[in-house]
Amino acid sequence: MYNFAPSISAAIGSFVPQKYIWQACISLHCAPRFLFACLLNQHLVQRLQLVAPYVKLLIRTSLLLQFLENFALLILTVVSSQANFDIHSVAFGSFVCTSFFYMIIVCFLITYCGYQPKNRYERIGSEWKVFLMKFNFVAGLLMLYFYYRHNTYCEQYVYSFFGLCEYSLVLSNIAFHGTAYYDFYYSEISVSRSVLTSYPRPGHGREDTKVGQYQDDRKPLLEGSNAV
């Protein structure tokens, strides 16, 4: 059956050295992703105006989903589809579901729960989050459709369209998490044994955003006593 684009799993597969390069990159970046998951969790706590119990529950759920997404990504990277198709399939499905529900929750929080951006970069990040969540949803639906068509009818090029949708899904996921660049544009992140903090960089952006005037911007983003 003719195809013009492989899926990500087929492209990496058991080929050396790309298999080990991919696994090393994903493994190394997992630790920072857990760190930023906690920072983003506290960022939402500080920016949301509504403090209803369901909002706090959604914030906690979004943090849990980020952790599960990272674990699923690590598993599907280490266990290829050629090595164990069942485990890889479950891990990939878990990754897609947890990442999408995380996007939905975050977009709901910033749209309907009184999210107050403190500067134009946070506002840009919010707009990109909503757009990327919608794009990810469309890519996911198309991916499922083409996967079904491939397994049911085994048509030419259908698996390639599935692969293209998979690329789009993964890239939109990367871009969604990449919007943290806007959330922490004026921040410096400091990691120590006792506290992880994110402070505004002095002298950056005051002329148009006045970061220093907001009391919340001078607070640590993550401390044991403030965590939700």
Sign of the alpha-carbon torsion through 87, 93, 97, 102: positive
Q: Which residues does 165 contact at the CB level (< 8 Å), separation at least 6?
A: 139, 140, 142, 143, 146
User: Model pTM?
Assistant: 0.82
Residue ranges per structural domain of the chain = 16-218
Residue 184 clears pLDDT 80, i.e. is over it = yes
Query: Are the C-beta atoms of 98 and 74 separated by less than 8 Å?
Result: no
Confidence band for 200, pLDDT divided at 50, 70 and 90? low
Residue 195 clears pLDDT 80, i.e. is over it = no
Residue 225 clears pLDDT 50, i.e. is over it = no
Residue 150 CA to residue 158 CA, distance in Å, equals 6
Mean pLDDT value across residues 216-225: 48
Using CA atoms, how far residue 210 sits from 16, 118, 183, 205, in Å, is: 51, 8, 15, 7
Question: Which segments within the chain are labelled E, that is strand?
Answer: 187-191, 196-200
| Burial state string for 17-52 with b = 16 or more CB within 10 A and e = fewer than 16 | eeeeebeeebeeeeeebeebbbbbbbbbbebbeeee
Residue 178 clears pLDDT 50, i.e. is over it = yes
| Burial state string for 70-82 with b = 16 or more CB within 10 A and e = fewer than 16 | bbbbbbbbebbbe
Query: Are the C-beta atoms of 127 and 117 separated by less than 8 Å?
Result: no
Residue 136 clears pLDDT 90, i.e. is over it = yes
Long-range (24+ apart) CB contacts under 8 A made by 86-93 are 88/9, 92/9
Write phi, then psi, for 126 (nearest 5 degrees): -65, -40
Sign of the alpha-carbon torsion through 143, 146, 147, 148: positive
Token digits of residue 28? 């190394």
As a whole number of Å, the end-to-end CA separation of the chain is 52
Mean pLDDT value across residues 159-169: 94
